[in-house]
Amino acid sequence: MNHTATARSWVEQANGHSDFPLQNLPLGIFSRPGEAQRCGVAIGDSILDLQAVLAAGLFEGEAKTAVEATVDATLNAYFALGRSARVALRQRLLELLGEHSEHQAALQAALYLASDCQMHLPAKVGDYTDFYVGIEHAKNVGKLFRPDNPLLPNYKYVPIGYHGRASTLRPSGTDVRRPKGQTLPAGQTEPSFGPCARLDFELELGIWIGQGNDIGQAIPIGDAAEHVAGYCLLNDWSARDIQAWEYQPLGPFLSKSFITTLSPWVVTAEALEPFRCAQPARPEGDPQPLSYLLDARDQANGALDIELEVLLITEGLREQGLPPHRLSLSNTLSMYWTVAQMVAHHSVNGCQLQAGDLFGSGTLSGAQPGSLGSLLEMTDGGKQAIELASGEVRKFLEDGDEIILRARCKRDGAVSIGFGECRGKVIAGN
């Protein structure tokens, strides 16, 4: 199913493409000007219209069932079909788009330039949960508020998370309007109301839930990976000054709910199989996960090796024709808990997960210099400014700034694949 690195597509610009070669085949929802939204697959710089391919009679069996599940222009029903249907559709797409396909002429009419299309959210998200599994981020933020006790005692026992706001999830390219709220200025005893002055990004991995579970029925850790349909990039925009005032005692609220940006393509669990690896060993002295979170197969093959990049574009960089400034180069290997552990823990109390639910990993900072996943960490809470080639400095984001998240999977003997961009530009609030 994860074919060899030598496999090529008749779509020539897919061969060697940085994100979407034949070895990837992510699904998403797109539209062309004046036309309805529908499901497509990314191949090189193009999108293959799966509804058009279905109408041409080129799908059958489980692959046909999988595409028929997307006729409402969402991937929810497709996610609910589970792994077997995903595998069947992937295998058929490999045949149709492979260099020896006998259907090239018929498919050409269903192939559109991605630059001519608009991308939409791939699913209707009933619930969105943001986790906190990036341990380096947790330690860094903890040091800002609790220098002597950065990690609270529960962190190494519990995959920490909170319920986010699904209604403000938006696809890449959506403007980020600066939020307003209450803040407590330094030295003051009463809060004031106004626009956020400490706007930040957070570099995260998004996880799309496939088949769900019945209420009251926990998903065992050994089965949890089967409930994950795919992955995306996620920017959990954060109003740090609003957050500092509101988060005690119940945690994030308005500081996190104004917008969350997603990359629109769903990179399937199957496409990522070559980039799975053992979960990094816990530091000596750390507790072993409780039994409901511990599975030998998951520990041996449940982590993902995905390189993550954050870029910043400012008005000054644009005006001077300078390239984006790289803020960070991190990796999903900084996750203290696996995705399967997140699924198992979320459902262990009987919570019902549903197809199209979304998880965020939490900010994924690395331990090395240049691998931090938020400005809060990079600037030590706003104490140290970042200097840009344009002569500008940044502690937090200003109007006109644009953040771009990218991801890359690399491994010897495998073709590199990516996620596409997750970008958002900050604009002034109302």
Best CA proximity match to 314, nearest among 399, 236, 384, 245: 399
N- to C-terminal Cα separation, the chain: 50
CA R_g for the chain? 22
In the set 17, 137, 345, 346, the catalytic residue is 137
Any residues with CB less than 8 A from the CB of 284 and at least 6 apart, and which?
none
Token pair listed for 325: 């400034």
Any residues with CB less than 8 A from the CB of 48 and at least 6 apart, and which?
40, 41, 93, 97, 107, 110, 111
Half-sphere exposure of 195 (CA within 13 A, CB side): 13
| Burial track 105-135 (b if 16+ CB lie within 10 A, e otherwise) | eebeebbbebeebebbbbbebbbbbbbbbbb
Cis? peptide before 249, omega within 30° of 0: yes
Best CA proximity match to 141, nearest among 300, 363, 354: 363
346 is catalytic: no
CB-CB contact of 263 with 208 (8 Å):
no
Strand partners, 325: 312
Best CA proximity match to 24, nearest among 418, 430, 400: 418
Strand partners, 393: 387
Catalytic annotation, residues: 137
